[in-house]
Structure 1
Amino acid sequence: MSSALCLVVAGLLLRQLDRLRHLRSPAKLTAAEAMALQRSRASVWAPTLLLVGEWTQIAGWWLLAGVHPAGAVVAAVAVAVHFRHLQEISHFAVHGVLARGRRANTVLAELFVHLPLALGPVGERRNRHVRDHHPNATLSGVDPNLVELRDAGLVPGAAQGTVTRAACHPLTVRGLRGTVTGTGRALARPAGAVAVVVVAAAAYLLGGWTGLVAGVLVPRLWLYPQLAWLSLLGEHTWFDPQRRTGSRAEVEAGRCLRLYPEGVVMSAVAAVTWLPYGDLHHYAHSAHPAVRWNYLPAVERGLAPPHCTPAALLIGPGSLLARHRRALARPEDVLAVPAPGAR
């Protein structure tokens, strides 16, 4: 167990080197100031060590999984969180702001995230996310993320029970089937298949069959997709956005939200689990997608708040899920064509 904990701590320390590289900055920044600052500090070595640190911690959890049944449960949850971290780190690589240079961003995302997690080509994700989603967020028939939500049953007129079940879509049989299908498509790439075999072999060598099942299969196919799904649900007011014109920030303020605006504890929990690496500040990211996560809080302080600031995600009348339920209860399609200039 001591070896496992040493790996977890070593990985945590490696991850801090990237944080320290970008640590010193004013409490409030304009987007232009943030981008100038991050360009001056951009490197390849710091994000590489960040990614190595994530995998070092994962290796520690694999080792722990083979020690005790309770360790396997902890490992499954912890590895799922790390997979979610890796997804979000690669998200900034897709935007070109993880490392210095477009090629370095692509290589790091492929080598450390997309290939070992069977997520598909980085180029396809870049087109889907940067080209298709960002300028068209919440637009029916255009935003690919909205298509995913609708496929899970989140459509106008949906019953409240359907909406509630959809919040746990990846945990359902249908959701699991979709995850397995998508993973299978990604494994069609020879490099992806090799990377997944390497990951599986490493988990088995460190934790045996328990390490493989609790440290790879359960988190990758079941728990991590659920964390990513919760993040997706909390990105926008998908079903009742306010169509606004004006600057990009003004447009995004009408279709984005800010979870836990006053909840210090919940913000901290979310930031280290299912909303890591700046995903808690998705509104600021949508307004200024070229800003690295380290500077999003400072940029957010200079933005007018979005129209939606729920204090909870799933539970309570003021939660975001309750808002989604109310919006979808209307039989008409509220995702109307936006006013000119809103895109």
Structure 2
Amino acid sequence: MSLQRSRATVWAPTLLLAGEWIQIFGWWLLAGADPALAVLAAGAVGVHFRHLQEISHFAVHGVLARGRRANVVLAELFAHLPMGLGPVRERRTRHVRDHHPNATVHGVDPNLTELKAAGLVHGVRRGAVTRAAVYPLTVRGLWGTLTGIGRCLARPERAAAVLVVVVAAYAVGGWAGLVAGLVVPRLWLYPQFAWLSLLGEHTWFDPERRTGSRAEIEAGRCLRLYPEGVVMGAVASVTWLPYGDLHHYAHSAHPAVRWNYLPAVERGLAPPHCTPAALLIGPGSLLARHRRALASAGGVPVALDPSHPAGGGEA
């Protein structure tokens, strides 16, 4: 932690975030130049939006840049405002205070509530679990995305920021840049990437309740995707699980550690009880595990006591 604090700056994360937008502008140009490239641009911009979300996640924890205010300002200017997301401070409350100390706890964890809204509840049919894996691509999922953006647009400053991005996408890439480079990635692809990440964070429906240190507790409710899959791990880490999200278990055990140190932290932890080699396909995949857990009766765990070692997710 001393090393992390000594290396913290404001200019380095600013350049990192600006670099994401420079690449997005480049994809808008390519989308406007060729219809075939527009398809590629849609996927690439979806990935960049996912990167922006995950970088801003560390700002929410207060460890992206030096100083609390700098973290909030960078996350707002480069991610939340232009992408039509809610205020950073609201996300911090929901994620750091409500989710981290209460992960997988029914009625308390807002992420679990989100999964239940998509139909992932005990006793649900097998096909419903499969459909829930692509929930953001469904009509209900799209409506949820649109209503979330709509709430943001109700605030003038956030509406103005989104308008600037819309005008920029059209000015750089024309209609192709606007539709393939902004609308499709923001409404469908980025939400789907983020949803897959959410599905792969925890053993949501059958966590193993443990006591002890924070790491021991998180080892019972977290997981590690692709533990031996070097290729799939590399692909995931540059697309839908960027900036340390592949190491979510290490992040849950040590939420104040920035992403570049998480692989080293993970090597010092005992492995979690769940280490699936695949996310969606195969009997050993995480989705298959979710299906089996939801097919069971399923208990309703109680919230953790605030004095418990797992409580207090503040970074």
Q: Shorter-chain TM-score category?
A: over 0.9
Matched residue, 1:39: 5
Partners of 1:124 and 1:342 in 2: CA distance? 24
Report whether the alignment pairs 1:215 with 2:176.
Answer: no
Is the deviation greater in 182-191 or in 160-169?
A: 182-191
Partners of 2:226 and 2:80 in 1: CA distance? 30
Matched residue, 2:271: 305
Report whether the alignment pairs 1:197 with 2:171.
Answer: no
Matched residue, 2:216: 250
Aligned-residue CA RMSD (Å): 1.0
User: Residue 261 of structure 1: which of 227, 233, 238 is its match?
Assistant: 227
Measure how far apart 1:296 and its partner are: 0.1
Matched residue, 2:37: 71
Question: Could you tell me whether the CA contact under 8 Å between 1:167 and 1:230 is conserved in 2?
Answer: yes
SS at match of 2:33: coil
SS at match of 1:116: helix
Partners of 2:147 and 2:303 in 1: CA distance? 34
Partners of 1:202 and 1:66 in 2: CA distance? 13
Question: Could you tell me whether the CA contact under 8 Å between 2:224 and 2:272 is conserved in 1?
Answer: yes
Mind listing any 5+ residue stretches in structure 2 that lack a counterpart? Answer: 311-315
Identity %: 80
Question: Could you tell me whether the CA contact under 8 Å between 1:240 and 1:335 is conserved in 2?
Answer: no
SS at match of 1:227: helix
User: Residue 242 of structure 2: which of 269, 272, 276 is its match?
Assistant: 276
Task: Give the TM-score taking structure 1 as reference length.
Answer: 0.88
Is the deviation greater in 131-140 or in 35-44?
A: 35-44
User: Residue 151 of structure 2: which of 173, 185, 195 is its match?
Assistant: 185
Report whether the alignment pairs 1:292 with 2:269.
Answer: no
Measure how far apart 1:338 and its partner are: 6.5
Partners of 1:239 and 1:43 in 2: CA distance? 39
Measure how far apart 1:45 and its partner are: 0.2
Q: How does 1:1-343 map to 2 (within 5 A)?
A: 35-330=1-296, 332-337=297-302, 341=308, 343=310
Partners of 1:261 and 1:196 in 2: CA distance? 39
Question: Could you tell me whether the CA contact under 8 Å between 2:276 and 2:284 is conserved in 1?
Answer: yes
Measure how far apart 1:342 and its partner are: 7.2
> Quick one: which amino acid aligns to residue 89 of structure 1?
I
Mind listing any 5+ residue stretches in structure 1 that lack a counterpart? Answer: 1-34
Measure how far apart 1:36 and its partner are: 1.3
Question: Could you tell me whether the CA contact under 8 Å between 1:51 and 1:86 is conserved in 2?
Answer: yes
Task: Give the TM-score taking structure 2 as reference length.
Answer: 0.96
Matched residue, 2:313: none
4+ runs of 1 displaced by more than 4 Å?
Answer: 338-343
1:288-333 residue CA offsets vs partner (Å, 9 max, x unmatched): 0000000000000000000000000000000000000000001x23
Measure how far apart 1:88 and its partner are: 0.2
Measure how far apart 1:337 and its partner are: 2.5
> Quick one: which amino acid aligns to residue 231 of structure 1?
S
The number of aligned residues is 308
